[in-house]
Amino acid sequence: MLYNQPSPLETKVLTRRFGLPNSASLDTYLSTDGYKAFEKAASMTPEQIIEEVKISNLRGRGGAGFPTGMKWSFVPRKSPLPKYIVVNADESEPGTCKDRLLMENDPHQLIEGVLIAGRAVDSHAGYIYIRGEYRYLIEIMDKAIAEAYAHGYLGKNIRRTGFDFELYTHTGAGAYECGEESALLESLEGKRGIPRIRPPFPAVVGAFQCPTVLNNVETYCAVPPILRDGGAAFAALGVPKAGGTKLTCLTGHVNRPGVYELKLGFPVKTMIEEVGGGILGGKKLKAFIPGGSSCPVLTAAECEGLTMDYDSMAKAKSMLGSGGVVLMNEDTCMVKAALRIMRFYAHESCGWCIPCREGTSWLRKLLQRFHDGMGQRADIALIGDLAKNMLGRTFCPLGDAAALPTISIVEKFYHEFEDHLNGRPCPFEEAGRLAPV
């Protein structure tokens, strides 16, 4: 099902079947060029497939934005070990809700993407790792997988191409950390979801100690259109160093929240005003999180001239991330926003390494006390300092994810912290303008 009306400004490539009757069914999929890309891929060599993906300038949609074709080319060709395709469907980044729609509305597109990846690296088995909270999606995916098996799109000798592929779903148990690729692999293997020391990277030592391609749902879903229409066509949709479209999740104080497929390089202003219908209640924009809660927060002023792509966001010292846009209007208490974000990371820290385990918990307590009006002036610097002590020193990026927004909020909204001092209650709550966190 769909949760929002599409926008005319969208470029529907991955989402083009959204809204069709029975869009998740194999019949609908086949009637709209389904599995054509796989058939094309079956006639290509693995090198040609990877080359096509490279041409497309597809970059990982999970948040890090690593070039997908290059990632696939790291899988050792001559390894005697089996190779695995793993789908990261542990979509847990706050503000992000796109992968669920892709699986809900067009599961066969994901299956086809996985098949093509399998073909590209000579893998014959794959796992879709779905977060525990998305358990209902397992039914949908399993149904699609069963349909695919029944019609010869999975299993032995797929469509008489001689290519075999087995695909399984696997559910997580509700840990944000398992969205980190190596922790996901540990969890998939039935172990505690903690990250692994890297290198070696999953392309060489991944699932069950074998070479593994691990990508986000959206990344795999982009592969059939690339093969079908050609990498160049996909690349042309985006900006020079990043091709295609990005599913963008507009959330927070916006009039028309929802998931929209926009070309990479889409102007932020237009996205907010025209796609999203402007800020809720006709208020002014105060803060903008471009790609999930782990990105540094941008101010309204910083959004001027900004476009939704990797390089533009990097230039603004933030990240495109997962496409989870969070908009905060002028009534938002930024201390409370920082607290809300830190509550999440303190809850989700896996606890493996010291700075993340202790730092997130300390920051949560500190921000809570501060927000409750018990803050001291020295605490403001302490909040920033603690976050900086975590930055770049944790075992995995979760520590950075907690530190970056905190640092940016302290730096950019310092005065709001000052407004909480001297036993003063939260000025925003006092005004009664803020919905409870």
Interface ranges with other proteins (CB under 8 A): 175, 177, 192, 197, 346-355, 357-362, 365-366, 369, 378, 382, 389, 392-395
Nearest distance in Å: CB 1, other proteins: 33
**Least gap, CB of 347 to other proteins (angstroms):** 7
**Residue 408 CB, nearest approach to other proteins (Å):** 19
Q: Measuring CA to CA, how many Å separate 131 from each of 64, 105, 195, 297, 402? A: 19, 17, 16, 26, 20
Residue 64 CB, shortest distance to other proteins, in Å, is 15
Measured distance between the N- and C-terminal CA atoms of the chain, rounded to whole angstroms? 28
CA distance 275 to 133: 28
Nearer residue to other proteins within complex by CB, 132 or 277? 132
Strand, helix or coil at 344?
Answer: helix
- In the bound state with other proteins, the residue whose beta carbon lies nearer, of 211 and 359, is 359
* Strand residue runs (E) in 283-430: 285-289, 298-299, 307-308, 324-329
CB of 392 to other proteins, least distance (A): 4
Least Cβ distance, residue 386 to other proteins (angstroms) = 8
What is the token pair recorded at 49? 């497939």
Cα dihedral 436, 356, 413, 367 sign: positive
What's the rounded Cα separation, in Å, for the pair 23 and 43? 27
Residue 123 or 349 with smaller CB distance to other proteins: 349
Q: Tell me the C-alpha distance between 9 and 274, whole Å.
A: 8
Nearer CB in complex with other proteins: 18/395: 395
Nearer to other proteins, 151 or 343 (CB): 343
Angle of the 377-390 helix axis to the 398-412 helix axis, nearest 10? 150
Between 84 and 395, name the residue whose CB sits nearer to other proteins.
395
